[in-house]
Amino acid sequence: MDALTEKIERLKASVRAKVEHPCRVIKRQFGHVKVRYRGLAKNTVQLKVLFALSNLWMVRQTLMAQVRPASA
């Protein structure tokens, strides 16, 4: 029983870590620390754009490595 509980907790921690990293990027790199109540649609669009930008931010080194050899 303890082994099953330990495995479940590890899976939950793994998912939590994958979700918290993009949230940290949005908060620190893009300065989104306060919620601005501009309407649900605008908030949703802003968060979607920020998560898309955070994905690009996290893979920027990989993207730049692919671009450099082609232009050299």
User: How does pLDDT run across 12-49, given as a tens digit for each residue?
Assistant: 999 988 888 888 888 877 777 776 677 888 888 888 88
Q: What is the pLDDT of residue 43?
A: 82
Q: What is the pLDDT of residue 22?
A: 81
- Looking at 5-9, 13-17, 21-25, 52-56, which range is the least confident one? 21-25
pTM attached to this predicted model: 0.56
pLDDT surpasses 90 at 68: no
What's the half-sphere exposure (Cβ side, CA atoms, 13 Å) at 25? 18
Give dist(CA 50, CA 44) in Å, integer. Answer: 10
